[in-house]
Amino acid sequence: MSFEVALRVSEVLVAIALLQRSIEDARLGQAVTLAHGVLCFLLIIGVTTAPVLALLWLLGLRHLLMFGGPYNGGADKMAMLVLSCLLLARIAPTYAIAELAFAYLAIQTILSYWISGWVKFRNANWRNGQALSDVFAFSAYPVDARFRDFAGAPWLLPASLGVILFELAFPLALLNQTALYAALVCAALFHLSNAIFLGLNRFFWIWPSAYPAVLWLQDRALTS
Amino acid sequence: MEIVLRALRLFLPCLMPSWAFFKEIGPSPRIEYCTESDAPWQPAYVWPQGMGVQRHLQRLFYNADWNAHLFLTSLAERQLIEPDRDVEALIKHVLAQKAGRHVAAFRILLECREGSELRRDITYQSSS
């Protein structure tokens, strides 16, 4: 995937993710939602991209200040990361710096899976399935009271080990193009399952906006 | 200058996140509130029972109430780690928006597993 195409696809995907978020945040103020919506639309159609990204970044910073941090944890952090890297890629004075900014996004995306897998791997409760059982038993996350019944289910152990293995092995997918596409599809499905069971819908929209950076980085690394 | 420093303090973790999701499954906060000093405590969020596939798919696109609940939970965690008047006021404000009326006080309970049993303890109560 070429740099320009990957950048554009990333911009479109982050705009969709931010549009989804702004609709949820509508209760915060109609004017802000409208401004956000207009900016996302402009980003999707590719009009005055750099200023639009800058304004979205400022609105994101406002969001952080308003709530004393990310409103929705990792999803909002990822949104700021994506916006920052895309903005820098667009305004960078040289092509090399633009590539570095996009590569940074790709590396952070890869790390988001690997580090997450590593911290789970190091925790015995994750390796024996107890942690995933506790998520369903008493954490704030299960969206449906009936999901509490999943606590102690026999499939939690293979599910736990499967997630750890997938996350730890993710960087290896960069060695092969087909493997990377497959890994990204699995990652998107992983976010989809988290959205369904744990209500983490914003993660499902924002993480894939960084996938074009990973695809580009692999292409760049393999061809250079 | 103070706001610039505050913005930087909030922005930098976004640029260099820890990515340590679900590192530990620790005690989980539950918030209850009362609208008057002698009114009964009400849960800030009541979990739905048995959502259908259509509802799950809808929540993929619009999940405002749930995300507000997760935000309140993160505020409660913050308040337990380092009690702060501003955070307490923000929790009350969010609860009041949700309840559609004034919130007199709230309390935070922590739910955790002890052996094979679950327990819930009151850990914090706000000022009235």
pLDDT tens digit string along A93-129? 999 999 999 999 999 999 999 999 999 999 999 999 9
Which bin fits B114, alpha (ψ -120 to 50), beta or left (φ > 0)?
A: beta
CA-nearest of A73, A1, A7, A49 to A210 is A7
Q: Which of B10, B19, B21 sits opposite A64 (nearest CB)?
A: B10
Q: What's the pLDDT score for residue A129?
A: 94
Q: Which has the higher per-residue pLDDT, A187 or B2?
A: A187
d(CA B82, CA B76): 10
Which chain B residues touch A168 with a CB distance below 8 Å?
A: none
- Report residue A73's pLDDT band, with 50, 70 and 90 as the boundaries: confident
Give exposure, A102-128, as e/b (b: 16+ Cβ within 10 Å).
Answer: bbbbbebbbbbbbbbbbbbeebeebee
Which chain B residues touch A70 with a CB distance below 8 Å?
A: 14
Interface mutation target, options B18, B67, B87, chain A, most CBs of A under 10 Å: B67
Q: What's the pLDDT score for residue A174?
A: 96
CB A184 within 8 A of CB A216: no
* Residue B51 scores a pLDDT above 90: no
CB B35 within 8 A of CB B99: yes
pLDDT tens digit string along A34-65? 889 999 999 999 999 999 999 999 999 999 99
Sign of the C-alpha dihedral computed for residues A130, A133, A139 and A140 taken in this order: positive
Which chain B residues touch A77 with a CB distance below 8 Å?
A: 13-14, 17
Mean model confidence pLDDT for chain B: 91
CB contact under 8 A, B118 and A143: no
- How many CA atoms lie within 13 Å of A125's alpha carbon, on the beta-carbon side? 14
CB A199 within 8 A of CB B63: yes
CB contact under 8 A, B10 and A74: no
- A138: which 2 tokens? 């008493």
Which chain A residues touch B17 with a CB distance below 8 Å?
A: 74, 77-78, 81, 108, 112
* Residue A22 scores a pLDDT above 80: yes
d(CA A79, CA A59): 11
Place of tokens 């997630």: A163
Q: What's the pLDDT score for residue A167?
A: 97
CB contact under 8 A, B62 and A24: yes
CB A124 within 8 A of CB A134: no
